[in-house]
């Protein structure tokens, strides 16, 4: 058997690496893309900020649940390993197919489209410029990570620290600027349905923290470090989202946020003119690069786990010893993402199409992961020393209920993209008949 087939993931990641990966994935695109959508469904500044805070609390609830799962069962397969242990191989295989064909390529393509849009502001390349930038970005970062995980994580850490420093500068500029004029009309109380739609976009903005689960198998002493690494990253994300939204409100007001398609650029244009808007575009590009790179790193781990456990897909279940990376899984994932970029560019609605494509499938499996905590707790003997979620059994119940809410919202408000994602999921059902390659590591 070739050396690549015998090799396996190494514990080469530190808690700082995992924390920066979480921050980089979450803070890449949403906070510059969704505030205007949230503001359009809220009629009051206080409600706007409270909803962002509630979304952050839900994210924190999810992170402590995943911290227990990742601490007790560290595996590069992440959610795939959790679902397999809880529900058996058939559910896990269906999830792995969904993640490899719908969830992760769609998320990578969405991040690449945002990068392409902002790069086109800095240097236009014509009608299909955003799609070209997106394709190049997917190709370059797939290649970087094929060279090795250490190189990929160094790129992630350096760019993320730079992006965070720039974001902090933008927040300070917004806070010290002259405040927005008082609103002309009185605020109104949003309906429950409006709040639900607003929360859907907020949780989309906070989304990505769960990707840390795919790093647990490479994190040194994950049983002790996973919880701290994940929760520190989530707390940084919550603080950054609340701070930058407060800056938006201070400079633009709720009406100004509603009327802007690029709220970060609008704020900095109000503070520092066109130069400020250009600076924000550069920061968004940097932040999106960290999201794209992080999604490529974590997504390839689930593809590797699928190939490791299914005989017919054994070719992608190999770990390249040189560079400690799942190179074949990376190439397959990059190809799937590139196809979605091309399709999205053809529709001219790339980002929204990718969100519609991934959301229902993602939240369906998030619900199952939340419920798996109850299954694992019932199986425990009582002597386990891993991190345990506080306020059990309430905490996983809140994650499950929130997942149901967002699942319903995504199905109700999304269009043909959501139907396409579900159809692709169903196309993976023949995998349920596949034979195992060998006994899984998890």
Mean pLDDT in residue range 94-99 = 86
pLDDT of 51 reads 92
Name residues whose C-beta falls within 8 Å of residue 192's C-beta, 6 or more positions apart in sequence. none
pLDDT of 303 reads 76
Task: Give percent of the chain above pLDDT 90.
Answer: 12
pLDDT of 222 reads 67
Structure tokens at 342: 């091309």
- Is it the case that residue 355 has pLDDT exceeding 50? yes
* Of 424, 344, 419, 418, nearest in space to 112 by CA: 344
Structure tokens at 83: 């679902």
pLDDT of 416 reads 65
Distance separating alpha carbons of residues 405 and 411, to the nearest angstrom = 10
pLDDT of 291 reads 79
Q: Assess contact for 104 and 333: CB atoms under 8 A.
A: yes
SS3 219: strand
pLDDT of 5 reads 44
pLDDT in tens, 14-29: 778 778 777 877 776 6
**Is the C-alpha dihedral spanning 205, 22, 368, 329 positive or negative?**
positive
Task: List domains and CATH numbers for the chain.
Answer: 3-379+387-433 (1.20.1740.10)
pLDDT of 321 reads 62
Query: What is the phi/psi pair of residue 310, to 5°?
Result: -120, 125
Count CB neighbours of 40 within 10 A. 16
43-57, 203-217, 269-283: the lowest-pLDDT one: 203-217
In this structure, the dihedral spanned by the alpha carbons of residues 205, 229, 366 and 117, taken in order and rounded to 10 degrees, is 30
pLDDT of 74 reads 74
Mean pLDDT in residue range 93-114 = 84
- Looking at per-residue confidence, does 232 or 1 come out higher? 232
pLDDT of 185 reads 52
- Is it the case that residue 38 has pLDDT exceeding 50? yes
- Is it the case that residue 323 has pLDDT exceeding 60? no
pLDDT of 57 reads 93
Distance separating alpha carbons of residues 132 and 123, to the nearest angstrom = 12
DSSP state of 317: S
Q: How confident is the model at residue 2 (pLDDT cuts 50, 70, 90)?
A: very low
Q: Assess contact for 418 and 360: CB atoms under 8 A.
A: yes
pLDDT of 29 reads 67
Q: Alpha helices, DSSP H only, in 177-326?
A: 192-206, 222-258, 263-309
pLDDT of 156 reads 64
pLDDT of 268 reads 85
- Looking at per-residue confidence, does 216 or 2 come out higher? 216
pLDDT of 325 reads 72
- Looking at per-residue confidence, does 272 or 11 come out higher? 272
pTM for the model stands at 0.77
* Of 217, 156, 148, nearest in space to 22 by CA: 156
Distance separating alpha carbons of residues 418 and 336, to the nearest angstrom = 17
Radius of gyration of the chain (CA): 21
DSSP state of 183: P
- Is it the case that residue 125 has pLDDT exceeding 90? no
Q: How confident is the model at residue 440 (pLDDT cuts 50, 70, 90)?
A: very low
* Of 2, 341, 308, 355, nearest in space to 141 by CA: 341
């Amino acid at each position: 058997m070739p050396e690549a087939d015998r090799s396996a993931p190494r514990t080469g990641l530190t808690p700082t690496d995992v924390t920066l990966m979480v921050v980089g994935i979450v803070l890449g695109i949403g906070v510059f893309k969704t505030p205007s959508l949230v503001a359009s469904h809220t009629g009051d500044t206080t409600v706007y900020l409270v909803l962002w805070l509630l979304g952050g609390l839900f994210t924190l609830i999810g992170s402590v649940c995943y911290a227990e799962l990742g601490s007790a069962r560290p595996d590069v397969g992440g959610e795939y390993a959790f679902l397999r242990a809880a529900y058996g191989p058939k559910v896990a295989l269906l999830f792995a197919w969904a993640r490899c064909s719908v969830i992760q390529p769609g998320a990578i393509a969405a991040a690449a489209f945002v990068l392409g849009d902002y790069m086109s502001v800095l240097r236009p390349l014509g009608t299909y410029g955003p799609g070209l930038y997106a394709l190049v970005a997917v190709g370059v970062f797939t290649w970087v990570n094929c060279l090795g995980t250490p190189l990929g994580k160094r790129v992630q850490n350096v760019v993320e620290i730079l992006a965070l420093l720039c974001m902090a500068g933008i927040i300070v500029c917004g806070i010290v600027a002259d405040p927005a004029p008082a609103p002309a009309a009185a605020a109104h109380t949003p309906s429950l349905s409006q709040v639900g739609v607003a929360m859907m976009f907020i949780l989309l903005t906070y989304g990505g923290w769960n990707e840390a689960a795919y790093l647990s198998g490479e994190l040194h002493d994950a049983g002790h470090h996973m919880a701290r690494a994940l929760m520190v990253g989530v707390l940084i994300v919550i603080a950054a989202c609340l701070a930058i939204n407060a800056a938006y409100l201070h400079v633009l007001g709720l009406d100004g946020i509603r009327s802007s398609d690029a709220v970060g650029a609008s704020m900095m244009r109000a503070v520092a003119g066109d130069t400020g808007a250009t600076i924000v575009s550069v920061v968004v590009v940097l932040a999106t690069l960290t999201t794209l790179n992080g999604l490529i790193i974590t997504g390839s781990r689930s593809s590797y786990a699928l190939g490791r456990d299914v005989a017919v897909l054994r070719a992608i279940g190999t770990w390249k010893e040189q560079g400690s990376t799942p190179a074949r899984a990376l190439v397959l994932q990059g190809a799937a993402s590139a196809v979605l970029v091309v399709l999205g560019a053809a529709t001219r609605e790339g980002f929204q199409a990718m969100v519609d494509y991934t959301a229902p499938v993602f939240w369906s499996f998030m619900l199952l992961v939340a419920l798996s905590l109850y299954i694992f707790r019932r199986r425990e003997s009582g002597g386990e020393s891993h991190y345990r979620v506080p306020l059990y059994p309430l905490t996983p119940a809140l994650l499950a209920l929130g997942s149901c809410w967002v699942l319903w919202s995504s199905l109700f408000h999304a269009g043909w993209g959501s139907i396409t994602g579900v159809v692709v999921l169903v196309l993976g059902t023949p995998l349920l008949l596949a034979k195992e390659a060998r006994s899984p590591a998890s």
